[in-house]
Amino acid sequence: MPLLFITICFVVISLFSGKAQNVILSVHQSEPLQITTPPTEFRILSGNKIVLGNGLTISGGTGNYQKIWSAPGWTADSIQNAITVAPIDTTVYSLKVTDEKGCSVSQLFRVNVIYPIQLECKIQPISCYKKNDARVTLKIIGGAPPYKIIWSNGESVNLLNNLEPGNYTVLVIDDLLQRQEKTFTIKEMPQILNDLNVSICEGSSFKYNGDDLKTEGWYKYSYSSAKGCDSTVVVTLSVNPLPEIPVIIQKGDTLQSSSSVGNQWLKEGVEIIGENKQILVITHSGNYAVNVTNSSECSSQSVAYSAIKTDVPIIQIAEINCKVYPNPNSGLFTVEIESDQSKPLVLELLTYEGKLIVKKTMEHQVGKQQIQFGKTNLADGVYTLRITLGNQTINRKLIVN
């Protein structure tokens, strides 16, 4: 072991000779005790082992050296030249070297435990149908940085923007060559579709989005929300036919509807509670009507009939044969009347609610007669043609479109 030599010269006066003499005193001192070591910080994968102490050099001091290893949580120190450790978490180990004269020096060794890589992908989904604006943020937990990031779409960053629907895979490799892979799916937002099925009766309408819908079919409406997402509403409109306009026939004190089902009788415009059969027995004279409703909940109402209560039976005249064509049309119809009676003939065109639009009075001769009747520029809808020959009246439904 190298020694430090120090020479000290001084003068000594001899008691025997009385002469001064030179004396040389040499002091031998060791070099300072020290530890020379390779890197003192290490990284190991969780569950693995590492040897500490190999490759270090101790110099200086005096005599043999004693090596003492210690660490937090140990119940006893380890007196070895090198130790094998497998920490479950990052740990700092201490090496204390002491020479024969009690001089000592210490060195710390840090072992960083690296855990397996975990990947978390925070996905911000696509906001609207047909928009490619998804976002993915990659978070890496564990592993040993720096990391190498490899996306299936060629990117190598933690944040991906403007993603379209599909499958994406990311591979992360750390500095210890640990590999971890994760696959996820960006889903397409569904198209916002709303179906609205509506049934109306012939001659009425359905109001939607400012439109007055009358014709059977489907209607498409598009909207945009505050977030810019488009939605579509499809209105499917069904138009149900009206029942034939009923005709009232009086026989004595009974009124009979031309419809066998769906009747509701009215007197002076007010429903008569419980009177919903084909026959109505009247107890008082007055204006009667009958409303007929079919299976589609569509209704047609007769023209008001002025009934007189009497015990004398009413004799019915021969029936009128009547044809109206073309029906529907724009407002002008051909009315073909055939009867064996020569009587005054009255034609009346009324709205569905019973308001008179046009009236024509003439004399009908026995046989067949064709008459042009109606009015131009009528609004689309359902109308009633009332034909009166003598004291017999029939009604026909007319459609203008």
Which domains does the chain possess? 34-114 (2.60.40.10), 118-186 (2.60.40.1080), 192-238 (no CATH), 248-307 (no CATH), 321-400 (2.60.40.1930)
Q: Nearest Cα to 35, choosing from 129, 99, 125?
A: 99
How far, in Å, CA of 203 to CA of 242, rounded?
8
The alpha carbon torsion through 369, 336, 260, 263 (nearest 10 deg) reads -100
Give the CA dihedral 292, 293, 294, 299, nearest 10 degrees: 90
**pLDDT tens-place values along the chain, 401 residues long:** 444 444 444 444 444 455 555 655 554 556 899 999 888 999 999 999 999 998 889 999 888 899 999 999 999 999 999 999 999 999 999 999 999 999 999 999 999 999 999 999 999 999 888 889 999 999 999 999 999 999 999 999 999 999 999 999 999 999 999 999 999 999 998 888 889 999 999 999 999 999 999 999 999 998 887 667 888 899 999 999 999 999 999 888 899 999 999 999 999 999 999 999 999 999 888 999 999 999 999 999 999 998 887 654 444 444 677 888 888 888 889 988 888 778 888 999 988 777 889 999 988 877 888 888 988 888 888 888 888 888 788 888 888 88
The phi, psi pair for 202, rounded to 5°, reads -55, 130
Give me the pLDDT at residue 314, please: 42
Q: Which helix (H) or strand (E) holds 249?
A: strand 248-251
- The reported pLDDT for the residue numbered 227 is 67
Planar angle of CA 187, 190, 192, nearest 5 degrees: 160
Residue 242 · residue 299 · CB < 8 Å: yes
Q: What pLDDT score does 226 carry? A: 61
Residue 9, both tokens: 């010269």
pLDDT for the residue numbered 8: 43
Tell me the sheet residues that pair with 372.
334
Torsion-angle region of 261 (φ positive above 0: left; ψ -120 to 50: alpha; else: beta): beta
CB 246 within 8 A of CB 401: no
What is the reported pLDDT for 311?
A: 52
Whole-angstrom distance, CA of residue 314 vs CA of residue 295: 33
Q: Is residue 369 exposed (0-12), middle (13-18) or buried (19+ Cβ within 10 Å)? A: middle
Question: Sheet holding 104-114: strands in order across?
Answer: 41-45, 104-114, 91-98, 66-70
Contact 203, 142 (CB under 8 A): no
Model pLDDT, residue 14: 46
Contact (CB, 8 A) for 157 and 141: no
